[in-house]
Amino acid sequence: MRSWKGLFGKELEERGFHMIKAHKRTLSVRRYMGYAVFITVFFLLLHVLGFREYTSAISGILPGYKETVFGLIYVFMYFAFIGFVPILLISAVILTIWERALSGKINRPSDN
Amino acid sequence: MNLLKNLSIKKLLVHVLVLIIASSIWLPSIHFFFKEDIGNYLDDKGISPKAKMLAGRQLQIWRDPELRKIELQKMQNRNPEWDFMSRTFFVLSLANMAIREPGFKDEACEIMDCIIDTTLEAERLNGMYHFLMGYANHSGPWKIDPPRSIFIDGEIALMLGARRLVMEKPEYAILHRERISLILERMSKSPVMSSESYPDECWIFCNTIALASIKMSDVLDKTDNSGFLKKWIDTAKRSLTERKTGLLISTFTVDGSPIECGFGPEGTSIWLTCHMLQIIDQDYAEDQYLRARKELSGNLLGFGYSREWPVSCKGYMDIDSGPVVPILGTSVSASGLAFIAASSFHDKEYFSSLITSLNCGGFPLEKDGMLYYQAGNPVGDSVLLYAFVEGPLWERIGGKGIPHD
């Protein structure tokens, strides 16, 4: 396998390396956003389908197994929605800022 | 290889750092989304909007015989005590609501009568065991003869007294006096002036409810049991108090020895106990409330809660405490009852933080103009309703909380 240096020279190799890093960072941001969207969509779906009514399962007065499972799934997704989704979104924002700040720092010497 | 390893460690650290920063921004802010003006729940004179909505469901249950049968059966199956206590707290709520809104008085009395009559009928047909948990039958002999539970007698007397304080009813006056006479007789037989809820098991919760019903009778029937009540307080201070916290213990035998299931103070007992004692000895009740507040109340990121046991005196989980959250020691039942104490002692700060938790974890559901707390059950709803409307009934008896603004 030929090296990047052999193919495009040192400058291109460095640029390619930074591109991969930037791509990876973008992937992290996308992943965070993806998790947040998944939790939100899944939670809203449960909510619209009326699963909130099954949360009585927590107090133990719903006798049915199915209702208990539905209730517990809703409770789990509810706390994921209010607890994790905003954290994931804030993390995505911080990572984006971090990424931009870092790429600015990397690009600055080559601009000169 | 080393470069890759360093990169992934660095990347991992960056992610951890970012998640920590994001969490420290978000977690302390969540409570703002659940915080609500307590004016929606508490009203100095009338009935607050949330209380009206919460009462809606309970009223529906008691207006519709079929629905009532289904709901009460569900409660009986789960825990007969819940069935009984939901009646007591709803009668107390109705009495307060009737005083707050005189236009509601006739309907409130009608429903209170329905609850009281069906309760007395169930007791007459099935005996007191109908409302007691199974172990009442086989956990040993009752120490005071004949077997009777102060849990049942005290709460029935309290319901009768509350109904009479709203509007006198001669049939209930006779029944009330009979119960009070039995309660006084049985409590007097114990060296700690407390009677059994279960065989050789006296609960502070039930005994202080009984004291409140005695006080009600004094007001209604112009009797004077003030000497008995004062002696009870002296005895409790001397023999039923946990030394480290200065709080009343939960469970003890007829001779006053603490029982394992409630040898120390418990959130599920002390909050209501403070409230009941308000009409017996305001200063002592105030002292117990402040101690309970110090030992049991908590606030995590703006969410209020009550511990089941003080840190210095951990007990055992049971059906009353429900599941206790590890580390925090939070109990849903204790937190529910803390609403009553926070409301009756006008502790707005604690009440507000409890409301924040209720809005977050109680899964409130508003439907057809009615409010349900999905994570609760009818007894939980009755307790909350009582916390939202209590006040006027106690004022009629003579006790009034001191503001803790």
**Residue B400 confidence (pLDDT) above 60:** no
**pLDDT tens sequence across B158-188:** 999 999 999 999 999 999 999 999 999 999 9
Inside any domain, residue A3: no
CA dihedral B287, B289, B291, B296 (to 10 degrees): 170
Count up the domains in chain A and report the number: 1
Inside any domain, residue A68: yes
The pLDDT value recorded for residue A2 is: 41
Q: Which residues of chain A have pLDDT under 70?
A: 1-27, 58-63, 105-112
Q: Do B78 and A61 touch (CB under 8 A)?
A: yes
**Residue B72 confidence (pLDDT) above 60:** yes
Residues B346-369, mean pLDDT to the nearest whole number: 93
Q: With bands split at pLDDT 50, 70 and 90, how would you rate the model's confidence at B263? A: confident
Contacts of B15 in chain A (CB under 8 A): 28, 91
> Contact at 8 Å (CB) between A111 and A94?
no
CA dihedral B88, B90, B93, B99 (to 10 degrees): -90
CA dihedral B131, B136, B142, B145 (to 10 degrees): 30
Shortest CA distance from A87: residue in chain B: B22
The pLDDT value recorded for residue A29 is: 85
Inside any domain, residue A18: no
Contacts of B303 in chain A (CB under 8 A): none
Inside any domain, residue A2: no
The pLDDT value recorded for residue A62 is: 56
The pLDDT value recorded for residue B351 is: 97
**pLDDT tens sequence across B114-161:** 999 999 999 999 989 999 988 888 888 999 989 999 999 999 999 999
Inside any domain, residue A88: yes
User: Which amino acid type is present at position B174?
Assistant: I
**pLDDT tens sequence across B287-330:** 999 999 999 999 999 999 999 888 877 767 676 666 667 777 78
Inside any domain, residue A15: no
- Provide the domain limits for residue A73: 29-102
**pLDDT tens sequence across A30-51:** 889 999 999 999 999 999 998 8
Residues B274-293, mean pLDDT to the nearest whole number: 96
Inside any domain, residue A112: no
**Residue B62 confidence (pLDDT) above 70:** yes
* B3 contact A CB<8A: no
Inside any domain, residue A79: yes
* B21 contact A CB<8A: yes
> Contact at 8 Å (CB) between B304 and B259?
no
Q: With bands split at pLDDT 50, 70 and 90, how would you rate the model's confidence at B9? A: confident
> Contact at 8 Å (CB) between B245 and B235?
no
